[in-house]
Amino acid sequence: MSWDEFGFKKGELAFVAQNYETNELITILDNHRQTTIRNYYLKYPLKVRQQVQFITMDMSGAYIPLARKLFPNAKIVPDRFHIIQHLGRAFLKTRIAIM
């Protein structure tokens, strides 16, 4: 599963979850508040949530405690986009420092 947010309305972020392997959309929630996300996933029984093996997300860490509570067997993995973004910024900063 992948978790992320995107600009939904002016100045507001929505939450999106999708199947990481198939890119199939799981849900879009109109905000990214932890209570909204928690309430959505608590509709699923714990047995179902325990079957989730991986959750990819950005490296901000805001969702990590929530994901661990909701999906106790899942490993949290930084997503590729944010890893590349982080590396790109580090390279740019280093390049500027060298110049």
Give the model's confidence band at 72: pLDDT under 50 very low, under 70 low, under 90 confident, else very high.
very high
CB atoms within 10 A of CB 87: 10
Helix or strand or coil: residue 57? strand
83 has pLDDT over 90 = no
- Residue 40 structure tokens: 């959505």
Read off the pLDDT of residues 23-63 as tens digits, 9 standing for 90 and up: 899 999 999 999 999 999 999 999 999 999 999 998 777 89
Q: What is the pTM of this model?
A: 0.78
Phi, then psi, of 58 in degrees rounded to 5:
-70, 170
Paired sense of beta strands 75-78 and 54-57, if any = parallel
